[in-house]
Amino acid sequence: MSFDTPLGLRADSLQFLDAEPADGQRWSTWPATTPTERGPAPHPAWLETSAGAFDTELGIVKTGKEADVFLLERAVPGTDGCILAAKRYRGGDHSDFHRSHRYEEGRRYRNSRDARAVAGKSSYGRLVAAAHWATNEFAALCAAWEAGIPVPYPVQVSGTELLMEFIGDGRTAAPRLAQARLDRDGYADAFRQVTEILQAFARSGHAHSDLSAYNLLFHDGRVVVIDLPQIVDLAANPNGLDFLHRDVLNVCTWFERRGVGTDPEALFAHLVAQLW
């Protein structure tokens, strides 16, 4: 039987208090986050939240222009923990947010100093932009999760690092839809799921704005959408409907090439109708 101690540690983890992180490890960052930096409650049963847990680096999953995704194990020593995806946005001179201005319309920074720094592309400004995009993606994932949209569960955000559910089997990541090998019926079902994702975003007043077969995962017959930092508010962003139309054309063109009949203009009109 386990119980919570006044320090927030599970009794079954007290025996590990003398342990120290080894190379490639750190103490779990969960206790240092605030409730607003944690994913929606109730937290999934698989999520390790003990203050006695270590975060262990397991390698890199994907590199990108603005961020890299790493594999992380969070576990109390000697126990089974959970595997997480750690998305780390780049700051300094190693990031590339050159496309951000069109997505950022309708968004605000915390203060005018941060906004000026980002606009001036200073080193501080790039760090602010990295943290800003991590926070944006975390908020988008939380909203999508609560709306029932199939996204990885957002575990927490801390500075420029976003931790989320790892979609895959064991330590093997699920393939992107572009890499999946499906038959005609499989592609047709995947298209049905993607249209439902588009519709759910539209009903919430948003567009993914960069949707394609490369940021959709396919796992156990289920399509999961990822990469949400550039999600746009269709009311606040003057380019919102253009982004939505591009999303529709991207996915319809891809599925057409795989033998699935689509009508992108009819789908776009249907999505726009969901906004009002």
Alpha carbon dihedral 88, 92, 98, 103, in 10-degree steps, equals 50
210 is catalytic: yes
Q: Which residue has the tokens 């700051």?
A: 91
Provide the H-helix boundaries in 147-183.
Answer: none
Between helix 112-120 and helix 123-146 the angle, nearest 10°, is 110
Tokens (6 digits) for 262: 């689509």
Spot the catalytic one: 169, 210, 233, 263: 210
Spot the catalytic one: 55, 114, 227, 247: 227
Tell me if residue 189 falls in helix, strand or coil.
helix
Tokens (6 digits) for 258: 């795989």
Report which residue type is found at 19: A
Report which residue type is found at 77: P
d(CA 215, CA 192): 16
Alpha carbon dihedral 264, 201, 48, 43, in 10-degree steps, equals -140
4 is catalytic: no
DSSP letters of 102-145?
HHHTT---SSHHHHHHHHHT-HHHHHHHHHHHHHHHHHHHHHHH
Would you please indicate which residues are annotated as catalytic (active-site) residues? 210, 227
